[in-house]
Chain A
Amino acid sequence: MTSRSSDFASVGTGEVDAVSSGRARHTIAAFLTKRLIAGAATLLVASFVIFFAVNVLPGNVATAVLGKNSTPANTALLRRRLHLNRPFIVRYGDWLGDALQGNLGQSAVALAQAGVGEGVGSGTVQNAGVAQKIGTPFRNSVILAGITIILLIPLSLLLGCLAGVRAGRSADYAISYTALVLGAFPEFVLGTLLIFLFFTLLNLFPPIALVGPGQTPLSEPNVLVLPVLTLLGVSLSFSARQVRAGMAEVMRQDYVAMARLNGLHERRVLWRYALRNALAPSVQVFAQTIQYLIGGIIIVESVFAYPGIGTFLVDAVTARDVPEVEAVALILAAIYILINIAADLLVLLLVPKLRTGLAQT
């Protein structure tokens, strides 16, 4: 995943410098509160950036959404329905207030279709609520990402440790170069090559993830195989390489040499001394990988027409459906920030030294 460095925010352990001893539970609660407040502030600014980017730049959204049906009367009606004729900052305030109450606005495309059908109408339009529309895609994406993560973590630990312990030997080279090559591919190229291999040549798995209405992808496990493989291909390479680097670093430490000199069994050296110390940095790596998945899933779902939040978002962007894009972007940004906090919390729980250090701050 070297190529995706810009997708990875620096997930640092931030404000842990001082050394002291203290009451661990209280410290963690204080840390969590502080990070949640900071996260909420970041999300607030992010929400402004989203709204600003979508609304202030040139490009007439109402005309774009209506497409061939854009008459002056229609456009004016849709603009009114989307409240586009009110000042920017008022619209931002309304949107944010509604979003906080769980109202993610109404789909512009649905409004446009209803508007064209009824001629001049007013009031709310049925089935246009974005919050209702994204429920199922969101669940499908969680399933896809969940399966990927469940496979990703043990696999990258296994491959990363294997390569790290044998650093500089043939097993290391085989794993490292495979990871480098796989991780270099853009997601859609890897997905397309997998379709060619597993559908065109072998006819094993479907190239398009058709999920019947009312069904979950879990009832059609076949459709999940290729999307999961694609996501694993690109994300595993990043996390395995990072775990390898951490493990190789640990294996060079004096305490590992000392344990070996003391005549401990190699397996015990690995499990008790090396792996435990390599694990804490790995948590950050997995957080970064999961954050990467948020971007990767958008492309991979589009490749396989998987009915998730990524396909939903790309469709909304193509149709210039502003309320839908804003809603999905806000949710994904919130998840991104939460993963960051969760990773830092987990590291804090894994490494007692940081916990005591935090008590002072």
Chain B
Amino acid sequence: MTAVSPSLARRGRVMMRWPRFVRTPQGVVGLAMLAFVLLVAFVGPLIAPHSIEEPIGAPGQSPGAGALLGTDFLGRDVLSRVLHGGVSVLGLSITATVLTYIVGITVGLIAGYSRSLVDPLLMRFVDLMLSFPALLLLLVLVTGAGSGVGILILGVVLVMFPGVARIVRTSTLEASVKGYVEAAVMRGERPSAILTREILPNIISFVLADVGIRFSAAIIFIASLNYLSLGLKPPAADWALMIAENREILSSNVWGVLAPAIMLGLLTISVNLLGDAYARTLGRSRGRA
């Protein structure tokens, strides 16, 4: 994602790389799809013709003049709800992904650099989290703490940060014996300065290489829990929630289900296409096919 959405991208190194993987046909298609989804999600709420909570007609009406995509199971305008329904899934998964990287990088740096008991303890915890089906852990958490947006984000971060932490730890271990780190130690720099100013800038592009895969996983976790009504609650307009709600009117107005399903599909496909294109570029520059 970093190199994908300019608002998220760190300027400099990552920005310089983006022409190379976006110029592939795969990158162009992915970027166009993502741009469309982002446009609908963030501009959509401004141009939605109707309210997302007030019925405008009978439930499950097929598309007509008043409602271009018909009405949903409560008679609300499907088009307006689709235009409003992207902010939640994008906002929640971007938040969860950013937090995942913040927690994962912090834990990984500390584990990799401190030659103390912290490292084995943190890594055993990481192993434990990885030896457990992630979705199961999320469901267990929801049982204990109840459903809600905060728990949703906390849960996704909890199941996703161990993967990041493990990569950061390995990279930190490798970097911490390099000359520039030893020079900083000799200068008497504090460990926190060494970690943030010497090690982190040198490992960050490697650590962020699979950000597309992780962002896509966050989208799937969050959308799945919303679909199971274990995250956002009605009457919220959310693509995943809409797919679940409008199942009952599938035979009278397919657009209630199809429109949000297409939007979610475009989102995850575009993120995967771009992530894959990015990984291929990295692979080629390292001399692998």
Contact = CB atoms under 8 A, between A and B. Distances in A.
Contact of B133 (A64, A185, A186, A332): A332
Contacts, number: 173
A356 B76 CA distance: 68
A110 to B, nearest CB: 16
B243 A317 contact: no
Q: Which of B139, B146, B216 has the most C-beta atoms of chain A within 10 angstroms of its own C-beta?
A: B139
Interface string B202-236: 00000000100110110110011001111000000
Given A180-B273, A196-B254, A4 B217 contact: yes
Nearest to A8: B130
A298 B135 contact: yes
B128 interface: yes
Contacts of B214: 5-6
B140 A183 contact: no
A116 B150 CA distance: 33
Nearest to A299: B224
A243 interface: no
A55 interface: yes
B140 A325 contact: yes
B145 A57 contact: yes
A3 B265 CA distance: 13
A55 B144 CA distance: 6
B134 interface: yes
A207 B136 CA distance: 25
A9 B220 contact: no
B133 A333 contact: yes
A295 B134 contact: yes
Interface stretch (A28-36, A42-50, A278-286): A42-50
A340 B131 CA distance: 9
Interface stretch (B6-14, B176-184, B256-264): B256-264
A2 B159 CA distance: 16
A171 interface: no
Given A184-B216, A337-B131, A322 B271 contact: no
A262 B136 CA distance: 52
A187 B224 contact: yes
Question: For this complex, into which size category does the number of interface residues on chain B fall?
Answer: 35 or more
A295 B217 contact: no
Nearest to B129: A49
A10 B276 contact: no
Nearest to B161: A6
B250 A200 contact: yes
Nearest to A39: B131
Interface string A323-340: 001100100110011001
Contacts of A333: 132-133, 136
B285 interface: no
Contacts of A59: 144-146
Interface string A185-202: 111110011011001100
Given A42-B131, A183-B272, A184-B265, 18 more contacts: A2-B276, A7-B217, A46-B128, A53-B145, A57-B141, A61-B144, A181-B269, A184-B268, A184-B271, A184-B273, A186-B227, A188-B223, A189-B264, A298-B135, A299-B227, A302-B228, A313-B139, A326-B140
Identify the 9 closest CB pairs spanning chains A and B, nearest first: A295-B135, A3-B216, A57-B145, A184-B272, A54-B144, A59-B146, A57-B144, A9-B130, A184-B269
6 contacts: A3-B272, A56-B144, A188-B240, A200-B254, A318-B230, A326-B140
